[in-house]
Amino acid sequence: MRLPRRAALGLLPLLLLLPPAPEAAKKPTPCHRCRGLVDKFNQGMVDTAKKNFGGGNTAWEEKTLSKYESSEIRLLEILEGLCESSDFECNQMLEAQEEHLEAWWLQLKSEYPDLFEWFCVKTLKVCCSPGTYGPDCLACQGGSQRPCSGNGHCSGDGSRQGDGSCRCHMGYQGPLCTDCMDGYFSSLRNETHSICTACDESCKTCSGLTNRDCGECEVGWVLDEGACMDVDECAAEPPPCSAAQFCKNANGSYTCEECDSSCVGCTGEGPGNCKECISGYAREHGQCADVDECSLAEKACVRKHENCYNTPGSYVCVCPDGFEETEDACVPPAEAEATEGESPTQLPSREDL
């Protein structure tokens, strides 16, 4: 049924809010499903391997086991445990390929002991042998025995997909993953193997493990007397950090950290490394400490009855609870009530004069 145009447009905002569909690559491939079925079959063989051993009569058990080992009864027990009832794809594949599995079990197991190779690679042709790829199961770059020289992953390895190209491991590059990237050097190379080892952190290129083996220094390092040494960016002029920060050197780099809140400029972490103190703070015992304005000889709060409370870097003046605040004083409750109860002075009338 086709939705009317208006209804379809109304669904558009809802569709935009839906999470993106999983990538096609995440959907199990035919090879992945076949391999999964074979893995479960092999596990079923393990689980039923000694099922008929009861203990006691060893000769009878061995005779019974030899019959059970390749019996249809054992095959049925394995098949029954292969797929969960809710696994539609597994059950669909099992139903379609049950005859193949039965033929292998009863007739071909001795000749082809590797079920995966016979079933997934040669019979269904959905997988390839390790080290091969693509529709025709061609050898990966570097050969099927050591794809990508053992230093990378072959695209499509073991499947009917991919192009056989190499995705090299960290430190390796080149079509066969035999060359070393910058930051690595060749510590072993012969006709069959290539091993790249990480340079010292100070080297961009190198021929050995130490900072004296660098061909070129990394950014943040400089060649000094034959070795790559760390550049102290914090000693540069002008300094690399802002006036409210201090510089912290690190190997090949640096970071800018915020000064303590009591500082006006600083040379390091904490109130003991301030260049100057902010207003409300003063240097005490080598560091910027809060000034208690309320304890100074000269009163900070000058109104009568007023209380002084110190705060970090400042202070506040507050009238006690119940006192009335005026411009000049904090008026006690009794005085405030008396003032409010007094009648205003009455001026004499013209007749009284």
Query: What pLDDT shows up at residue 333?
Result: 83
User: Integer distance in angstroms from the first to the last C-alpha of the chain?
Assistant: 107
3 state DSSP class of 298: coil
pLDDT by residue for the chain (353 residues), tens digit each?
Answer: 333 434 434 444 444 445 554 444 467 889 999 999 999 999 999 998 877 655 544 454 455 555 788 888 999 999 998 888 888 888 999 999 999 999 999 999 999 999 999 999 999 999 999 999 999 999 999 999 999 999 999 999 999 999 999 999 999 999 999 999 999 999 999 988 999 999 999 999 999 999 999 999 999 999 999 999 999 999 999 989 999 999 999 999 999 999 999 999 999 999 999 999 999 999 999 999 999 999 999 999 999 999 999 999 999 999 999 999 888 899 988 776 666 555 444 445 444 44
Q: Which alpha helices (H) appear in 70-121, and where do they start and end?
A: 72-80, 88-103, 115-116
Please state whether the peptide bond connecting residue 30 to the residue before it is cis, i.e. omega within 30 degrees of 0. Answer: no
DSSP 146: S
Query: What pLDDT shows up at residue 62?
Result: 53
Tokens of 68: 């059970």
Tokens of 45: 């063989």
Q: How many Cβ atoms are within 10 Å of 131's Cβ, its own excluded?
A: 19
Q: To the nearest 10°, the Cα dihedral for 84, 86, 89, 94?
A: 40
The string of DSSP letters for 150-170 reads GSEEETTTTBS-S---EEEPT
- Residue from 151, 169, 158 nearest 142 by CA: 151
| Global model pTM greater than 0.85 | no
- Where does residue 341 rank: exposed (0-12), middle (13-18), buried (19+ CB within 10 A)? exposed
Q: How far apart are CA 279 and CA 260, in angstroms?
A: 14
Q: How far apart are CA 328 and CA 302, in angstroms?
A: 9
Q: Which residues contact 294 (CB under 8 A, 6 or more apart)?
A: 300, 301, 308, 309, 310, 315
Q: How far apart are CA 280 and CA 273, in angstroms?
A: 17
CA atoms within 13 A on the CB side of 327: 0
Domain ranges within the chain, ordered by starting residue:
30-46+65-123, 234-290, 298-330
C-alpha 322, offset from chain centre: 58
- Residue from 82, 109, 77, 106 nearest 93 by CA: 82
DSSP 199: P
